Amino acid sequence: MDMNDFPFPEELKSLVDFHGHFCPGVLIGWRASKLALKLLGMSRDRDEEMVAVAENDACGVDAVQFILGCTFGKGNLHFRDYGKQAFTV
Could you report the average pLDDT of every consecutive run of 10 residues in the chain (89 residues)? 76 95 95 97 91 96 97 95 93
* CATH number, position 54: 3.30.1330.130
| 2: in domain | no
Q: Residue 17: which of 3, 27, 33 has the closest Cα?
A: 3
Q: What is the pLDDT of residue 31?
A: 96
Q: What is the pLDDT of residue 5?
A: 74
Beta strand ranges found along the chain (DSSP E): 52-54, 77-79, 87-88
| 4: in domain | no
Q: What is the pLDDT of residue 1?
A: 57
How much is the pTM? Answer: 0.88
Give the total number of structural domains in the chain.
1
| 88: in domain | no
Q: What is the pLDDT of residue 2?
A: 66
Q: What is the pLDDT of residue 73?
A: 93
| 61: in domain | yes
Q: What is the pLDDT of residue 3?
A: 65
- Quote the domain boundaries for residue 59: 10-83
